[in-house]
Chain A
Amino acid sequence: MRQAIAVLVMAAACSAGLDSNVRPDGNQASDGASADSGSGGCAVSYDPIDPVASPTLPIRAYTSVANPNGLVTFAWSVTFNGNAVPYTEQAADGSQIGFIAANPGFYTVYVTITNSFECPSASAVINVAAPGANTDVFRLRTVPPPSLAPPQETFVQVKGGANANRDITLETGIPVTGLVKNSATMAGVTAYLKFMPRTMPTAFSELFSSASGAYSLHLLTLDHDVLVIPTVAGLAPKLVTWTAVPTTPQLFVGPGTVVNGTVRGPGGAGFAGAKVQLYAGGVPSTLGTTAADGSYSVRTDFPTSATQVTVKVTPPAASGLPRLEATSNYNLAGAININYAASLTTCDLANTPVRRGGTAQPNAQVSIVGSLAVVAGTINGVNATNTVRVSATANGSGQLPTMLVPRGTLSAVTELSMTDHAVSAVNTSTCSVAQIDAPAMTAINGTTKKPDMTAIGGIRVEAEPIGNLALAGVAAVQVTSNASGAFSLPLAGGGRYNVRFFDPQQHVAPLVTNDVAPAGVPTNALLAQALSLSGKVMVGSSNVPAGTSVQILCATCSGLEQSRPITETATNNVSRYAIAVPDPGTM
C-alpha cells in the first residue's frame, strides 16, 4: 500500500510537472518547487523541473512579460539560506538566468521587472534535492479553525538530505447544512456524524446533529461517506453517502434489520447482562444486552457490500467469562447465537493475597487479562477468539474479593498507583493461585542523543502500553529527558510497550521502538537527523490565523498510529509553519 501511495504521488507529481504534495483528490496543493505567481499574475519558471544539487549543472530560471509598457529590464536575485547566490544572464534581454545550486535545499529566485504593468515582480522557491535522495511518503494534515475550512490531508513525498519549502493551500470547502431524519417517521434525529471524504477518509470531520436533526459544518467539495450513529433507540447506525454536487440535504437512518440471538453460558443456559454488538463495513449495530434468558436483539443497517460481519460479546464482569469475537459471513436474517464452551470453567480468586516482595498491597487494583488457549465459545458455529479482562480491588489487607476468572494461563496486571504497575503470570487452571505477585517497577535509565552522538535534552519519551497492560487500561508513561539528555522511564517489568522518543523543539527526528519489553527500550536513544518542511499556509488566497495545526502522520498506518502525529506544529502569526520530519537519507 505504501508503495502504491508513493507511486500515486510520484505519478501525479510527474503529470503535473512538479514535485510532490499532491492531493488525493487530484488537486494540486501549492508547492514551493513550482513556479510561483508574482504580484501581477506572472511567474518564474525553471528547469530542470526536479533539480538536484550539482557543482556544475546550472538551474535555469526564466520569466516572460506580456504587454510591456516600454523597454523591459529584469533585476534578478537568488538566495540560499539568506545568502546571495551568483547567477549569470542566459538571455540577451535578461529574462533568463542560470545559477549553480551546489547544496541541496530551497533556493529563492526573485525578479523585478521594469515597464511591466502586469508583472512588476515574480518569484519562485525551488526545492533542490540532494543527489541520490531516498524518498518517503507521509500524510500532511492541516486543521484550520472549523469556521474557516475543514481539516485536510495530503500525501507528501519527502526527499532525503534536503530541507524543503512546501506551501500549503487549503480549500475553503463549502458551508453545509442538513438534517438527519428517521426514514420511517421523517422526524429529526440526534446522531453522531462522521463525514469521511471518500478519497481520504482519515481527513474526517465529526459533529452531532441537534435534537431536530440539524447539522452544519464546512466540508470539502468532495463526496463523503457519513457514518451516522443515532443516539436515540430504535434506529440503526448507517453509512450514508453525501454528495457535494448536488449537495445532499438530508441523511436518513431507519430501524434497519433486527438481528436476534441468544447468549448461553458454559452450562447451556442463557444469562443476562451480556453486551452484544455487530460490525460490518465499518458500521456498528446498536448495542444489545441479553435478557435473563440470554436473548438479545440489535439493529443493523450495514453496507450491502459488507459481507463479513464481526460479532463481539462482552459478558458481565462478574461472570468470569471471557469476551468472544468472531467474524464470518453471518446471515443477518437468522438468529446469531453465542455459546460458551461447555468445558469453560471459572474459579474464584477471593482472598488471594496481592503482594510485592512478600509485602501485602492493600487496595491494589488487579486485572486478570489475557487470552485462553482453548476455544472458549462459538458464534453461530464459528470458533470465537477470546479475551479475558476481569478486575477487582484488594481489600485493606491486600486480599482480593470474590473475583471469578476463567481457568487458564493468564496474566495479572496490578496497579498500586497510577504510576506503579506490575505484570505477572497467573495460572488459574487448577484454581490454586497462591498470590498475585506484583514485581517492582523497572526504571529504564538512558540518554537521548543527537545524530552526532552528543546528548540532547528536552526529548519526550512516551511508553505506550500494549498487550496485557493495554487491556488492563494502563495509561502511557511519559517523561522528558533533562538538559543532559538523561531520562528515567518507570515501566512495569513484565509489560510490553511501544516507545517513542520525540523532540518537541523539532531539532531531531522521532525514534520509535515498537513492542518491546522494558529491557528493549534503547538506553542510548539516538534520534536521527530531521529535515525541515516549511512554508506558508493559506486558505484560498487568505492567510490562516496563527495556531492552525500542521501534522505529519504515517501514510500507511492503521489503528492508533493512524491518528498519532509523527511530529506536529502550528502556524505562527504570519501563517508560516516549520516542521521536522525524519530524513529518508540519501543512497
Chain B
Amino acid sequence: MSRFALIGLAVVAGCFYTDVVNQRPSLDIHRRNEGPYFRGDMTKQIELSAVSSDPEGHNVTFHWRAYACTRQNACDRAPYFELSEPFVDIDVPPARFDVADPLLGVLVRLEGKDDFGAVARPVQELWIDVDNFAPQLKLEAYSEFGFVVTAPVEVYLEVSDADDGPEAPQVTWKVYSPSNQPDYDFVDYPAAPGPTGTKAYGKLLTPRGVGKYMVEASATDSIAPLPSVKSVDVTVIDDKPPCLRTLSPLVAIAPAALPITDPTLFQVHVVADDLDPYPAVNDGLRGTTKFTWSLLAPGGSRQVLTGVTGNRVSVNPASYQPGDVLELRVEIADRTNTAITCADASATCSVIADNSCLQRQTWRVEVR
C-alpha cells in the first residue's frame, strides 16, 4: 500500500492522522573474492559489495570504512580506507598506522542510510584475517673447484619478503658437517647484489674434510610462527688426481717409436686438475701441476731429470746414436702428491685405475 493511499484512507475515515514511519534499511556485506589476503600484497585486494534491504524500497547509500588491526579489539582509531560506493576493493597495508605493529587483520565497517535519512542498524562489521608473507629464500652453493676438500665453496642466499621488505628478516646460518665432524671455516663473503626486492648474503665454506655438509639458512620476520628455512647440500670430495690431457709430440705405443731427426720439445700443454691445473689459473687459490721428467737411454737406467721442473723438455738426437730408442717419461702430481706406484716398465699409469686420467706417460723415441 502506498503512502498516499494510507493518508487517503485516514482522511476518508476521518478518525485519525498519523505520520508514516520510515523504516530503517538493513545491510549486508558480500565478499566478492575469497582470501587468503596477505599484508602489503599489492596484487590482491579485499573485494566487497554492499547489499541493502529497505522495507520501503528506498534507495540506500553506503559508506565503507576499513581499519588496520592487530586483533579485533586492537585497531587503528582512524580508518585507512573510506568510500561511499556499493562496491569496494580494499588494499591490505603491511602494517598498522597508529602503532608499529604488523597488520594481522582488517576490520571493515559498512554503514548505510536511505534517502530519508534512516540509518541502517546495526552497522555491519566484517573481520578479515590477513596472513603474513613469510620470508622467501633462495640458497645456492657454488665452487669453481667441484666441491673439493680445502677448496672454498661460495654460498649465496637471496632473501625477499613481500610485506616487510628484504632488509627486515633476520638471517641465521647453520652448518651441519659430516658425521666424522671434520673442521671447516664458515665466514662472511661479499655477495653480489641480487635482483630488485631481494637482499643477498654470502658465506664462504672451506671444508677440511670430505663428506656431506649441509648449509642451512633461516630467516624470520618475527611474525610468522616459524622461520623460513632453506638448506643446500655440499658433498665434498677428495682432491682428484691430475690428468694429462694435451701432449706433444705424438706418444708412440710400444713397439712403435716416434722417429726424431732434429731437437724436439716434448711438452705437456694441458693438465686437468681441480686445484692444480696446467697452465696455471690466475685466481690466487689454485696452484699448478708438478712435473717430474725422466729419461731412459739405451744401456742405462732411468734417470730423473732433476733440473727440469716445468712442463717441457727438449731432446737432442745428436746426443745419441742413430737407432737408439729412448724413453722419455713425464709424471705429474698435484698438491696431494699421490705416489705413482705402477711398475717402472709401465708406460702409463693412473693412480685411480682410469685410463682416461693418466699421471704418467712415456714417449718412446727413436733417434734418426
Q: A476 and B314 in contact (CB under 8 A), knowing A277-B368, A549-B269, A563-B265?
A: yes
Question: What is the number of contacts between chain A and chain B, taking CB atoms within 8 Å?
Answer: 129
**Chain A residues in 8 Å Cβ range of B312:** 564
Bound together, the chains give a CA A565 to CA B246 distance in angstroms of: 14
Q: Is B238 an interface residue (CB 8 A)?
A: no
State A389–B319 Cα separation when bound (angstroms).
7
Query: Does B99 touch A at the CB level, under 8 Å?
Result: no
Q: Given that A475-B305, A476-B307 are known contacts, is A551 also in contact with B316, CB under 8 Å in the complex?
A: no
- Interface flags, B290-326, vs A, CB<8A=1, else 0: 0001010000000111111110111010111111000
Please tell me if the beta carbons of A287 and B280 are within 8 angstroms of each other in the complex.
no
CA gap between A53 and B237 in the complex, in Å = 49
Q: Give B260 Cβ to nearest chain A Cβ, in Å.
A: 10
The CA-CA distance from A419 to B323 in the complex, in Å, is: 27
B282 within 8 A of A: yes
Are B314 and A464 in touch, CB under 8 angstroms?
yes
**Interface residue B264 (Cβ < 8 Å from any Cβ of A):** yes
Q: Is A473 an interface residue (CB 8 A)?
A: yes
Interface-side segment among B27-35, B123-131, B201-209, B248-256: B248-256
**Number of contacting residues on A, CB 8 A?**
56
A564 touches B265 (CB 8 A): yes
Contact, CB under 8 Å: B308 / A475: yes
Chain B min CB distance to A578 (Å): 9
Shortest CB-to-CB span from A309 to chain B, Å, is: 14
Q: Is the CB of B310 within 8 A of A478?
A: yes
User: Which residue of chain A has the shortest Cβ distance to B266 in the bound complex?
Assistant: A563
| Chain A hits for B261, CB < 8 A | 279, 284
Instruction: Name the A residues within 8 Å of B57 (CB-CB).
Output: none
- CB-CB contacts of B246-286 with A at 8 A, as 1s and 0s? 10111011001011011111010110100001011110000
Query: Are the C-beta atoms of A207 and B250 separated by less than 8 Å?
Result: yes
Whether, in the assembled complex, A569 has its beta carbon less than 8 Å from a beta carbon of chain B, the answer is: yes
- Select the residue from A462, A546, A549, A551 with max chain B CB neighbours within 10 A: A549
Q: In angstroms, how far is the closest chain B Cβ from the Cβ of A482? A: 14
B44 at the interface (CB under 8 A from A): no
B288 CB-CB contact with A under 8 Å: yes
- Residue in A417, A473, A547 whose CB lies within 8 Å of B319: A473
When distances are taken between beta carbons in the complex, the residues of chain A under 8 Å from B230 are none
Distance (Å) between the CB of B298 and the closest chain A CB? 11
Asked if B269 contacts A506 (CB within 8 A), the reply is no
Binary interface encoding of chain A residues 188-215 relative to chain B, with 1 for a CB under 8 A from any of its CBs, else 0:
0010100000000000001110000000
* A504-B279, A504-B280, A546-B272 known; A478+B308 contact, CB < 8 A: yes
Given A275-B322, A275-B323, A480–B246 Cβ distance below 8 Å? Answer: no
Q: Which of A448-501 contact B (CB under 8 A)?
A: 460, 462, 464, 470-473, 475-480, 490
- Judged by a CB distance under 8 angstroms, whether B138 is at the interface is no
Inside 8 A of A547's CB, which chain B residues have their CB?
A: 245-246, 270, 272
* Separation of A547 and B318 alpha carbons in the complex (Å): 34
Interface pair A470/B319, CB less than 8 Å apart: yes
Task: Determine whether the beta carbon of B256 is less than 8 Å from that of A231.
Answer: yes
Task: Specify which chain A residues have a CB less than 8 angstroms from the CB of B282 in the assembled complex.
Answer: 505-507
Q: Which of A208, A312, A572 contacts B256 (CB 8 A)?
A: A208
